[in-house]
Structure 1
Amino acid sequence: MRFVIVTGMSGGGKSTAIHMLEDAGYYCVDNLPVSLIEKFSELITMPDNEISKVVLGIDARAGQAFEEVAGMIDAMKEKGIPTEVLFMDCSDQVLIKRYKETRRVHPMNVNDVGNRIEVGIAKERAVLAEVKKRADYVIDSSNLLTRELKEELDRIFVKNESYNSLMVTILSFGFKYGIPADADLVFDVRFLPNPFYIDEYKHQTGNDKGVQDYVKSFPACGEFLDKLTDMLQFLIPGYVQEGKYQLVVGIGCTGGQHRSVTIANELYDRLRNADGNYGLKLLHRDVKQAK
């Protein structure tokens, strides 16, 4: 029996996650009143119940006594009910962007639509804090594609593989287009010779072998990669231990097309081939920008 409670920030991907789990064969119930959660959990775990995989979606909409949920989760686990909690999180910046794009009122602001989106997000984080502490899985959807979210959910809830609490994103970018706002660590590789000034490589990128071979031909490149890889392998376990869920490592050069892309690709390969309890993804923010 798997009983999964899916909750999290409004706009963080909770509904999408529930739909994906439903497609994966889970029986899903969304937005059940908080007062019925414990009774529902008892019913679906009765010995004669034929349903073996259940998802319950709950959120902190206005009017819900959500402060009771944390206590209910503790009580269900004490009774031996196999309760798992999936918390869908997202950065404030991305949440604000999503709400502005959809022009929706934040659920925590329905009684005062004059409040800014930031106010509703802050209220919701406070309400959800205790539940998040009890989460078995926290997925930050800030930088996740729909396909990547599905892969992560399948890995945890279908294939029953181990959960990677930290998602590390290696992100190449160009300083001329600005430092990524969500970057936790930023490394400047403009000390390496720039392939842009060589006609053969000017219109290629760090995804092309010629550019890669050129950048990696300099001893400083290999030494930098060795030191950076070593540092990240030292830092990442500490981030995991401290409960960090998202780490964005920015690799920047002037235009974000040659040096940074090459270094990001190589760093991704090195970390991917290392043993570690973290997820890993690679993004090139500015590789398609006009040269």
Structure 2
Amino acid sequence: MSEVRTTGPDQTFGEPAEADTSLVVVTGLSGGGRSTVARALENVGFYVVDNLPQALLLDMAELAVKAGGAARRTAMVLDVRSRAFSTDLVGAIEELRERGYAPRVVFVDADDEVLIRRFESVRRSHPLQGEGRLADGIAVERGLLEEARDQADVIIDTSHLNVNQLRRRVEELFGGEETRRLRVTVISFGFKYGVPPDADFVVDARFLPNPYWVPELREHTGREEAVSSYVLGQEGADAFVSAYANLVTATTPGFEREGKRYLTVAVGCTGGKHRSVAISEELAARLRRSGLTANPQHRDLGRE
């Protein structure tokens, strides 16, 4: 059965001396899911330092305070493979607290049988098994980390969690609702300049009449009312925008469950000046009205 033990949802980070600094220390058994925890913390806005020697914990905490900004939410991931790792992790955490920090320690664990299957599935040896068996390496590591596990603020047993479930668990613990929501960028472009390589959906607006061939509209853009009204007033335009708005809103919950945080919808026309710009602005507005975070961008506007 999966386990999460925490010190409580109302615990605040970084008190009393560094009340605006959030520090998380991630450790645990190899194969338990530390890298997934690290990526999930990045998703909710933490600056993550992986494979940090525990001797540098205090230095990293002080750097986070001095750097400010995004670094004030810093996660430090410790690994027994670090040459500077010792059995006194608890002492290092205590030193942080004595200096006025309040790090939250996350310990990632799993059953021995599960860890063995994970190592065997990727055909890797355990970093501490030496000439022995996988089980021997796991046993040595458990011994090294026993006290750290006992003193952890959060224990996550990943034995029965897949990657997405583990990620969601971390985001629930360390991220607000807004950090877990999908952000949509609706980007206009001109096909003659190439399709945006990061597009998740590509929308072709070239079926609509081109304002370029309307003399009084040619020099204007899809961000202006005259061109926008012309494009959106064409037969099929409203149904076209509605269909893609419905597609994005229908798929958003699934993307969020799978851990996707950014979605790019690329809307193209010939040059990226008229039709794609007007459609992108309207699509982004409709997505916002449906409750999504959506912003238009115009890659090729002004390029002609």
TM-score, normalization: structure 1? 0.55
Q: Could you tell me how far apart the structure 1 residues matched to 2:103 and 2:261 are?
A: 26
> Cα–Cα, structure 1 residues 280 and 5, in superposed 2: closer, same or farther, change >3 Å?
farther
| Counterpart contact for 1:186–1:250, Cα < 8 Å | yes
**Of 203, 217, 221, which aligns to 1:205?**
221
| Counterpart contact for 1:45–1:81, Cα < 8 Å | no
Structure 1 counterpart of 2:184, one-letter code:
V
Instruction: Choose 1 or 2 for highest CA Rg.
Output: 2
> Cα–Cα, structure 1 residues 20 and 223, in superposed 2: closer, same or farther, change >3 Å?
farther
The equivalent residue for 2:68 is: 23
**Of 266, 270, 283, which aligns to 2:297?**
283
Q: Could you tell me how far apart the structure 1 residues matched to 2:294 and 2:92 are?
A: 39
| Counterpart contact for 1:187–1:251, Cα < 8 Å | yes
User: How many residue pairs end up in the alignment?
Assistant: 209
The equivalent residue for 1:50 is: 100
- C-alpha root-mean-square deviation of aligned residues, in Å? 4.6
Is 1:216–2:241 an aligned residue pair? Answer: no
Q: Could you tell me how far apart the structure 1 residues matched to 2:230 and 2:24 are?
A: 50
The equivalent residue for 1:4 is: 24
2:236 aligns to what SS in structure 1? helix
Is 1:266–2:282 an aligned residue pair? Answer: yes
Structure 1 counterpart of 2:204, one-letter code:
D
Q: Could you tell me how far apart the structure 2 residues matched to 1:163 and 1:248 are?
A: 17
Q: Could you tell me how far apart the structure 2 residues matched to 1:67 and 1:210 are?
A: 66
> Cα–Cα, structure 1 residues 37 and 49, in superposed 2: closer, same or farther, change >3 Å?
farther
**Of 209, 213, 235, which aligns to 1:193?**
209
Structure 2 counterpart of 1:289, one-letter code:
R
Identity over aligned residues, as a percent? 30
| Counterpart contact for 1:5–1:83, Cα < 8 Å | no
**Of 72, 81, 86, which aligns to 2:153?**
81
Structure 1 counterpart of 2:153, one-letter code:
I
> Offset of 1:180 from its aligned partner?
1.3
| Counterpart contact for 1:251–1:263, Cα < 8 Å | yes
Give matches, 1:130-149, under 5 Å: 134=167, 136=170
Query: Alpha-carbon deviations, 1:119-148, whole Å to 9, x = none?
Result: xxxxxxxxxxx8xx65846xxxxxxxxxxx
The equivalent residue for 1:242 is: 258
The equivalent residue for 1:111 is: none
Structure 2 counterpart of 1:229, one-letter code:
A
Give ranges in structure 1 of 5+ residues lacking alignment.
Answer: 56-65, 85-129, 138-155
Q: Could you tell me how far apart the structure 2 residues matched to 1:255 and 1:54 are?
A: 52
> Cα–Cα, structure 1 residues 27 and 211, in superposed 2: closer, same or farther, change >3 Å?
closer
